[in-house]
Chains A and B, each alone.
Chain A
Amino acid sequence: MSPVLPFRPKRPAWLAATAATAAVSVALGLGARWWRGWSPGDWWGLTFGTLAAVLMFLGALYAGRRRLLVPPLSTAQDWLQFHIYGSTLAGVFVLVHIGFAWPNGQFGWWLLGLTLWTVGSGLLGVLLQKWVPALVAAQLSVEVIYERIPEIVSQLQAEAARTMEGASDVLQRFYDAQVQPALAGLSPSWSYVLDAHRGRNERLAPFEHLRSFIGDDDRNRLADLQAIVAEKLEIEAHYSLQRALRLWPILHVPPALLLLAAIVLHVAEVWYF
């Protein structure tokens, strides 16, 4: 079962306001450029540049949301929504600010590159944060706390070893060749982001093949082992998906900090010259 991602914005009014503001700004920028030309340093250019910088700095305050819960941003969810819509709008304002033209100079390219990267990685994060929980809810039956995953895998290994007590040689050989490697450690993979059941059937198929070659006692053991391996595969998928959610900010936060620093330099440069 694949998750369905309904387009269900949490703040429809904010989305509408952002889209309308972006559309008006783009129309204004393009119209002014066509009408009288555009310079980032003229009144309109500076206005959009200033708005973009203010929104970016305000958006960055999301990191301090725990201490900044005041109306109208009185919940963390309000802050996150503001961070998303405000920063996206800031990206649009930057494009208007530069008049939809390529920047001049290396520093300008850095500023534009960092802006696009930060906004893009942020939107990728939004997508991931919507997709991964929906995927987990739709495809995985277990729920585990990320930090406890190694401990739970160790417990599964111990449980499998206990299950093998008194097993036949045939099953023991299967255990050594198939089960132990499947239970050993964790192999996170980004491919789980597309399919949380990736490779599951292939990895469980040997259990089905062996079933007809062993006695009743061993069949019960085999069923238990299969359940243990299936659970481990789910936990591995959980680990990969939760890891993706935890690693994604690396793509976003350091460039965002660099961008803020670059904006400060840019403003200083404008003031100075």
Chain B
Amino acid sequence: MDAEAGHHKPAHAAAEDATELSALRAYPFLKNLSETVLRKLRPNLVERYYSAGDAVLRAGEYSDAAFYLKDGILEVRVTAGAGRHAAPAAPNRAATASFGGGLQRSGVAADGTIIVADMPMDVSINRMVLLEPGELFGELNALARYAVSSDVIARTPAVCLAIRAPALRMLFKQKEVAEFKKQVDERYRVRTLGSHLRQVELFAELPGTAIERLRRTADIVSYEPGAVIVEQGAPADAFYLVRGGNVKVSIDAGGGKLAVTYLRKGEYAGETALLMNEPWPFSMQALEYVELIKIPRAEFEAAIRDHPPVERQLWETVVARLKERGHASRNPMVSQYLQMAMDTGLIHGESVLLIDLSTCTRCDDCVRACADTHGGTPRFVREGAKYQHWSIPVACYQCSDPVCLVGCPTGAITRALGTLEVTIDPGTCIGCGNCVKRCPWGNIIEVPFSSPTLNKNIDLATKCDLCVGRAAGPACVQMCPHGSATRISFKDLATVSQTLSS
């Protein structure tokens, strides 16, 4: 295993080498690609070798790669509970086999089988299923940043091609691999889309048949960063559900665009225009690589026509959205805050430390409190970006989709399910610096550390962990004598504008 895949047995890691172009052509979905495209893909295509017993993926971890099994046999195991919290379970076991049939809300079938979206088969709890050469798995984890749902262990020596997310996205654009993209999308449609639709509050009460119809007719579309998804004033032709990435919503104002809000994974848009039979009342733009589920107008209208409770809820949503837009139009500063949050990446933050510089006496009690809580080494620096009279210190934002988790070779970085804190276990960290390089905000710092596990000095990756386990919450906030330190989630736009305008 290489440094990224061989989390648990670094000492016995299988060798990994840069894969030559000729070797890449041995893969059926790569054989028709031009040399230029293959060269571009190559940095993100890595052949990995596993010894029997090595872990390819571990349940609960984040992975930035899909895996194509070239040789050998892999075991997929789901332990009780794992499949329920990681990648969403597909709604229908039968659907996997027949691409049709009735629906169940749970991801657990009547016979106890768990349908895991990121694996190409269904798995029974505490039992294993085998993967054979030619199988592709983990693409949903890589593209939509879901935690891995199952342990994937090499039963025999195995070879996998790890296709990292950038390569997956590039592959999807090549017409030579249209079939490959179709296969991946179809699997998503069959195994996961139903449960995604079900998670949309709007569709929660729809009967199974209606969900099934939406599932069959929905398109999966992707956009590059900066791409315009819809233009204000254009005819509204579809309902959009965000599958991954962040989307900026803006309205035309005074020759410019006024940011109104942003949409995250699981949020949706288009209901207002469709319901009121109007053109798009706003523009949508991809802030990063974005994947959307597009439900055509006719299908959407049919769903609400047949199900009055959905229409009622839609009207409520419409009123809320109109209020939001009206608020943004009347308060241009709110738009400015949103734009700042989008420009700086703060929109990813679930718990961002802000310091009000108009009341902060620079006493550094926050830093001292942090150091006291963490054995003498503070987890943040009281300097960083400044916005108006707010300082945004170099402290972990606890991102919604923490990219630092992806590619940690030892699994030292974790986020307990249902919590905000992304933590690094000093006993497991080997000081490779992967997370430090991956954090787009530079919020992970390295400190010299004598590792008892490795019995040597390493550069331990450290970051704010929200003082996990401390009953009173983050010490920086509690110990600020002037109440200048605060933590906010940039998911909560009302709190963001209220805080920043204070």
- A10–B483 contact, CB under 8 A? yes
- B358–A133 contact, CB under 8 A? yes
In-complex Cβ contact of B365 among A76, A144, A145, A245 (8 A): A76
Q: Which residues on the B side are within 8 Å of A80 (C-beta)?
A: 481-482
Q: Which residues on the A side are within 8 Å of B372 (C-beta)?
A: 66
Task: Give the number of chain B interface residues (Cβ < 8 Å).
Answer: 23
**B382 closest partner in A (C-beta):** A145
A-B contact count (CB 8 A): 61
Any chain B CB within 8 A of the CB of A143? yes
> How far does the alpha carbon of A10 sit from the alpha carbon of B482 in the complex, in Å?
9
- A245–B478 contact, CB under 8 A? no
Task: Convert B447-484 into 0s and 1s, putting 1 for each residue whose CB lies closer than 8 angstroms to a CB of A.
Answer: 00000000000000000000000001000001111111
**B484 closest partner in A (C-beta):** A133
> How far does the alpha carbon of A66 sit from the alpha carbon of B361 in the complex, in Å?
18
- B481–A133 contact, CB under 8 A? no
Q: Which residues on the B side are within 8 Å of A129 (C-beta)?
A: 361, 482
Any chain A CB within 8 A of the CB of B199? no
**A8 closest partner in B (C-beta):** B359
**A130 closest partner in B (C-beta):** B359
- A245–B361 contact, CB under 8 A? yes
Any chain B CB within 8 A of the CB of A100? no
In-complex Cβ contact of A66 among B357, B479, B483 (8 A): B479
Q: Which residues on the A side are within 8 Å of B363 (C-beta)?
A: 245
> How far does the alpha carbon of A185 sit from the alpha carbon of B356 in the complex, in Å?
29
The size bracket of the interface on A is: 20 to 34
> How far does the alpha carbon of A66 sit from the alpha carbon of B383 in the complex, in Å?
23
- A76–B480 contact, CB under 8 A? yes
Beyond A77-B481, A145-B383, whether A137 also contacts B358 by CB under 8 A is: yes
Any chain B CB within 8 A of the CB of A69? yes
**B369 closest partner in A (C-beta):** A66
Q: Which residues on the B side are within 8 Å of A75 (C-beta)?
A: 478-480, 483
- A69–B361 contact, CB under 8 A? no
> How far does the alpha carbon of A3 sit from the alpha carbon of B359 in the complex, in Å?
12
- B481–A79 contact, CB under 8 A? yes
Q: Which residues on the A side are within 8 Å of B389 (C-beta)?
A: 137
**A142 closest partner in B (C-beta):** B386
Any chain A CB within 8 A of the CB of B330? no
- B481–A76 contact, CB under 8 A? yes
Smallest CB separation, A152 vs chain B (Å): 11
Chain B residues 147 to 170 lying within 8 A of chain A, measured CB to CB, are: none
Q: Which residues on the B side are within 8 Å of A66 (C-beta)?
A: 369, 372, 479
**B385 closest partner in A (C-beta):** A143
- A77–B357 contact, CB under 8 A? no
- B362–A242 contact, CB under 8 A? yes
Smallest CB separation, A239 vs chain B (Å): 11
Beyond A66-B372, A137-B357, whether A245 also contacts B362 by CB under 8 A is: yes
> How far does the alpha carbon of A136 sit from the alpha carbon of B369 in the complex, in Å?
24
Any chain B CB within 8 A of the CB of A134? yes
- B365–A136 contact, CB under 8 A? no
Q: Which residues on the A side are within 8 Å of B30 (C-beta)?
A: none
Beyond A66-B369, A66-B372, A133-B360, whether A77 also contacts B391 by CB under 8 A is: no
Q: Which residues on the A side are within 8 Å of B391 (C-beta)?
A: 143
- A133–B479 contact, CB under 8 A? no
Chain B residues 382 to 441 lying within 8 A of chain A, measured CB to CB, are: 382-383, 386, 389, 391
- A77–B362 contact, CB under 8 A? no
Task: Convert B365-378 into 0s and 1s, putting 1 for each residue whose CB lies closer than 8 angstroms to a CB of A.
Answer: 10001001000000
> How far does the alpha carbon of A136 sit from the alpha carbon of B365 in the complex, in Å?
19
> How far does the alpha carbon of A77 sit from the alpha carbon of B369 in the complex, in Å?
13
Q: Which residues on the B side are within 8 Å of A134 (C-beta)?
A: 358-359
Q: Which residues on the B side are within 8 Å of A65 (C-beta)?
A: 479, 481
- A133–B483 contact, CB under 8 A? no
**B389 closest partner in A (C-beta):** A137
Beyond A76-B365, A242-B362, whether A143 also contacts B357 by CB under 8 A is: yes
Any chain B CB within 8 A of the CB of A110? no
**B358 closest partner in A (C-beta):** A137
Q: Which residues on the B side are within 8 Å of A145 (C-beta)?
A: 362, 382-383
- B480–A133 contact, CB under 8 A? no
Any chain B CB within 8 A of the CB of A74? yes
- A133–B386 contact, CB under 8 A? no
Beyond A75-B478, A145-B383, whether A69 also contacts B357 by CB under 8 A is: no
Q: Which residues on the A side are within 8 Å of B383 (C-beta)?
A: 143-145
**A138 closest partner in B (C-beta):** B358
Instruction: Jot down 16 A-B pairs with beta carbons below 8 A, ordered by A.
Output: A10-B483, A65-B481, A69-B478, A74-B478, A76-B479, A76-B481, A80-B482, A133-B357, A133-B359, A133-B484, A136-B357, A136-B358, A137-B357, A138-B358, A242-B362, A245-B361
Known: A65-B479, A66-B369. 7 other contacts (CB 8 A): A69-B478, A76-B481, A80-B481, A133-B357, A134-B359, A143-B383, A143-B386
